[in-house]
Structure formats: structure tokens, C-alpha cells
Amino acid sequence: MRKKRRKNRIIASVFAIFLLVAGYFSFVYQAPKESSKTVTIGVVGQTKEDAKIWDSVAKTAKAKYGITIQIKNFTDYNQPNKALLNGDIDLNAFQHFAFLDAWNKANKADIVSIGKTIIAPIRLYSLKYKSINSLPDGATIAVPNDASNESRALYVLKNAGLIKLKSGKKIVSVADITSNPKNLQIKEVAADQAGRIIKSVDAAVVNNSYAAPAGLGDKQTIYVEPVNKDSEQWINLIAARKNDKNKQIYLDVVKAYQTKKTKELVKKYYGNTELTGWDIKIK
């Protein structure tokens, strides 16, 4: 009888140890699954308003999809795509289609868009003049020097009636200016410098992410980029590595962004200076 009890105790002990070991390995196995629910997204020059919008997106992602979103803020446009390719971040959300196309070609990369975010009509700013008509002959205009943003800036000047460009081209450069009646001097500078040097030029086309930090707003605006048939290439996007474009976790991040709540916050914080790009109607 005692031998039987002893045998039962041994079996119970072995079974308990088995459960502990199984439980441990089950926990270890599931831990990576839990950590894979965190998505790091690279942005550039994030404002307080942008942070609030992403906070809202993060809450939606967590509540609906169990995804934790982490934002990594970069200081210039050259960093987030490199970080994406290197695996330092999972997605990025800072660029428009034209910039991505140009960057992919220049760097022999294949980063892809997995969803649209916003379109932010850029502006021509001046501290010296109140309107485009008051710009003098020979005025110096600063524009971003990277291919896509320079092209966009030149289209702003074209739509403002200050220059004419060769037709039939999406991406243009200074060499494509066919008419410049005011003999404007186009000064090419790094995108993040356009706002900083505005005191030393007559006007500058400044990307929105750099305008606010440079203290530029409605008061200094002399022209706003129109939204027209050429605007689709300027819609901002969420980008992923090509091999990751169909990952459900990343597509769920896009869904968490493209909501009525996001649209309301964009309107609240930016008025007509930013528009949601996934539902915009371009004429």
C-alpha cells in the first residue's frame, strides 16, 4: 500500500514538473508573437498636432487590432527610407509619391506605398512682400534642392503665374523653365534649410514639415499650392519594404489611420492646409 502511495506521489511530481516545463516553453514561444504586434513608424519634423493625430491612430490600432504603434521622429528626408531598408523601423510616413519614386530610382530601392495619408498644399512664403504681384524683378526665390520637392516648388511658381514650364513632364527642374518674365533667381537649398534662410531671400517655397518650426504661417504666406489634376503625385503615404507590403499587421495600421476620426483631427488642427489623401477628389 505504501509502495502504491509512493508511486502515485512520484507520478504526481513528474506530472507537475512536466506542466511547469510545458508552461515555460509555451510562454517563451508566445513572447515573440506578442512583441511582433509593435510597429515602429518613421516620420519627419513631427509637430505637436501631428503627434496628437498619431496618438489617436495608435489608440485605434491598439483597440481594434492589438497593435502598439511607436513613432520615431527624424530630422531630414534622407533618413527614414534608409532606416526602413535597414530594418530600424517597420514603416514610414513622411513622403509623397513623387519623392518616393525619385528616391527609389536614385538609390536602386523598391520601397512601396501601402496606403495614402494626407496631402499638404505647400506655400510660397515671404517676410518682405505681401503678395506675389509685389515680388520685384530679379527676386531670389529659395526652393528645395531634391528632385521631387524642387519640381513641386517649380509647379507652385508656375501655378502662381511667375514662370512657365515644359509641358508633359511630371518631374521638372530649373532647366525646364521656358519663361521667366520677372527674371527670378532660383536658389536651390536643402529642404530643411528653405525656411531658415528666408530672411536672406525674397521668398521661399517651404515644405509644411519645416514651415512651422521656422515660424512661418498664414501671415507670411503669399501663395498656396492649388489642388488640381497634377496633385496626386504629392499625396503623402505610408511606406513599407516591398516584401512586407501584404503583411496584415501593416495593412491594419493603414486602416487605423484612414478613419473618420483622423479626418476630423486633420481638419481640426490644420484646417485647409492639410487634406486627407485617401478620399480626396481631384479635378
Q: Which CATH architecture has domain 36-120+233-276?
A: 3-Layer(aba) Sandwich (3.40)
Q: What is the pLDDT of residues 210-244, one digit of tens each?
A: 998 899 999 999 999 988 877 788 999 999 999 99
Span 153-170, average pLDDT: 93
Distance CA 252, CA 272 (A): 27
Question: Which range, 21-25, 77-81, 178-182, has the best average confidence (pLDDT)?
Answer: 178-182
pTM here is 0.71
Between these two residues, 179 and 6, which has the higher pLDDT value?
179
Q: Is the pLDDT of residue 42 over 90?
A: yes
**Nearest to residue 205, comparing CAs of 220, 195, 215, 217?**
195
Q: Is the pLDDT of residue 11 over 60?
A: no
Here the cell at position 234 is 504629392
Span 254-280, average pLDDT: 95
Q: Which CATH architecture has domain 123-226?
A: 3-Layer(aba) Sandwich (3.40)
**Average pLDDT score, the chain:** 89
Confidence of residue 36 (pLDDT cuts 50, 70, 90): low
Predicted confidence at residue 45, as pLDDT, reads 86
Residues of the chain with CATH 3.40.190.10: 36-120+233-276, 123-226
Half-sphere exposure of 255 (CA within 13 A, CB side): 13
Q: Is the pLDDT of residue 22 over 90?
A: no
Predicted confidence at residue 170, as pLDDT, reads 84
Predicted confidence at residue 200, as pLDDT, reads 97
